[in-house]
Amino acid sequence: MSKRIAGPEIERLIQLLAKVPGLGPRSARRAALHLIKKKEQLLSPLAAAMSEAADKVRICSTCGNVDTADPCMICTDPRRDAGTIIVVEDVSDLWALERAAAMNVRYHVLGGTLSPLDGIGPDQLNIRSLIDRVAGGEVKEIILAVNATVEGQTTAHYLTDQLSGFDIKVTRLAHGVPVGGELDYLDEGTLAAALRSRTAF
Amino acid sequence: MSKRIAGPEIERLIQLLAKVPGLGPRSARRAALHLIKKKEQLLSPLAAAMSEAADKVRICSTCGNVDTADPCMICTDPRRDAGTIIVVEDVSDLWALERAAAMNVRYHVLGGTLSPLDGIGPDQLNIRSLIDRVAGGEVKEIILAVNATVEGQTTAHYLTDQLSGFDIKVTRLAHGVPVGGELDYLDEGTLAAALRSRTAF
């Protein structure tokens, strides 16, 4: 705001809200006003939920997931197949795969991708801990669910090399036409991959 | 999420964030993850700022603004002209006018517009308190800065009626071409109003 029109508490709230992804300076003001108007229903409960999350959230020392327990709920869930680990770049990818609810397995969060130019080498990612889990002997398959970007694929190749000494299967996600997608709007690379990996009808 | 993959604290944080205007269910998850990753820099300070705002924010009993003081900073600012009151529908309009920083005056927040179908009559708005402020004798001009909607204009006419007994000037915002606006994209009503209110060049 160009001049002070409200107490510093409100301006600080707006400044911090503007740093939340999805909100900018303008929507942060709108959000702050809405929160203030809904003090009992939203502002106070949200403050309490944030404070509780800040207190309790841990990074799982086994897989790198975020949870309020360490090891996390996924690593300690006895109904999940401990023989299969899906390797993802980020916790958001883990959450996306869990929403798909396609496989009842475990995960490993790398925390990024190899990017030498940005100074991100193997030691900056959770790769050592993945090798250790595989060396434990229980793992039968590693599914590399990294993004289909250059960095993601570079990381996938590096991991395949590192895991080549173990008697496990290393797989990756299929490329192809998104469900509901129209061929007309797809790039040539995806279409070529979908043709190569065609399946019996 | 289709199944529980994280502690209830994280899911509650996501649910509450999804109620913030500007965030939906998907961006709430992204925001929650970002907040959790930036625990020290963002999550904890934001929780504290929200809790402090919830504690301290008041509605100004004079003008209806939100602030941490009552009367608010605007109503108690001696450098503002107490003879002019800008009447707005909502605190967000007050903030918008303050960002424009065009006039150093006071405000009055109605808290909505007259809307008989929704059960909003004069008693549901801060109209009584506006009349009382005018009756106090210090006010020389009321600027009706309500939205240019049917409800806004209905409310403006009602207020003009109510204020007709006082020896004050009642004005409203000018209609016209927005600064930087292209005529081609403007509606006929705005263009006609801009023509009627043309000024010497």
Q: Does the N-terminal peptide bond of residue A71 adopt cis geometry, omega within 30 degrees of 0?
A: yes
- ipTM over 0.85? The verdict is no
Distance CA B57, CA B91 (A): 13
Average model confidence (pLDDT) across chain B: 91
Percent of chain B with pLDDT over 90: 72
Range with the lowest mean pLDDT among A23-27, B32-36, B156-160?
A23-27
pLDDT in tens, A110-163: 999 999 899 999 999 999 999 999 999 999 999 999 998 899 999 999 999 999
Which of B4, B5, B12 should we substitute to test contact with A (largest number of A Cβ atoms within 10 Å)? Answer: B5
Helix (H) or strand (E) holding B191: helix B188-196
DSSP-based three-state secondary structure for B87: strand
**If you write DSSP's letter for every residue of A38-99 in order, what string do you get?**
TIIIIIHHHHHHHHHHHHH-EE-TTT--EESSSS-TTTT-TTSEEEEEEEESSHHHHHHHHH
Range A92-99 average pLDDT: 90
Interface contact flag, B6 A30, Cβ < 8 Å:
no
By CA distance, what is B25's nearest residue in A?
A22
Distance CA A167, CA A46 (A): 48
Nearest residue, CB atoms, B16 vs list A42, A68, A73? A42
Range A26-31 average pLDDT: 92
Distance CA B171, CA B41 (A): 47
pLDDT grade for A171, boundaries at 50, 70 and 90: very high
Q: Token pair for residue B153?
A: 């204009």
Residue B111, min C-alpha distance to chain A (Å): 11
Question: Chain centroid to CA B168: how far?
Answer: 24
Residue A165, min C-alpha distance to chain B (Å): 32
Name the more confident of A195 and B84.
B84
Task: Tell me: pLDDT of B128 over 80.
Answer: yes
What integer pLDDT is reported at residue B2 of this predicted model? 44
- Which domains are delineated in chain B? 8-56 (1.10.8.420), 66-172 (3.40.1360.10)
Task: Tell me: pLDDT of B31 over 70.
Answer: yes
Which of B2, B20, B41, B95 should we substitute to test contact with A (largest number of A Cβ atoms within 10 Å)? Answer: B20
Nearest residue, CB atoms, A22 vs list B31, B46, B47? B31
Question: Residue B36, Cβ neighbours under 10 Å: how many?
Answer: 22
Which of A29, A46, A70 should we substitute to test contact with B (largest number of B Cβ atoms within 10 Å)? Answer: A46
pLDDT in tens, B4-28: 667 789 999 999 999 999 998 889 9
What integer pLDDT is reported at residue B4 of this predicted model? 64
By CA distance, what is B9's nearest residue in A?
A53
pLDDT grade for A42, boundaries at 50, 70 and 90: very high
Task: Tell me: pLDDT of B201 over 90.
Answer: no
3-state DSSP helix/strand/coil % of chain A, to nearest 5:
45, 15, 40
pLDDT grade for A39, boundaries at 50, 70 and 90: very high
What integer pLDDT is reported at residue B152 of this predicted model? 92
DSSP-based three-state secondary structure for B100: helix
Question: In one letter, which amino acid is B97?
Answer: L
Range A50-65 average pLDDT: 94
What residues in A contact B26, CB-CB < 8 Å?
Answer: none
pLDDT grade for B48, boundaries at 50, 70 and 90: very high
Distance CA B168, CA B82 (A): 13
Residue A112, min C-alpha distance to chain B (Å): 13
A186 — alpha (psi -120 to 50), left (phi > 0) or beta?
Answer: beta
What integer pLDDT is reported at residue B15 of this predicted model? 94
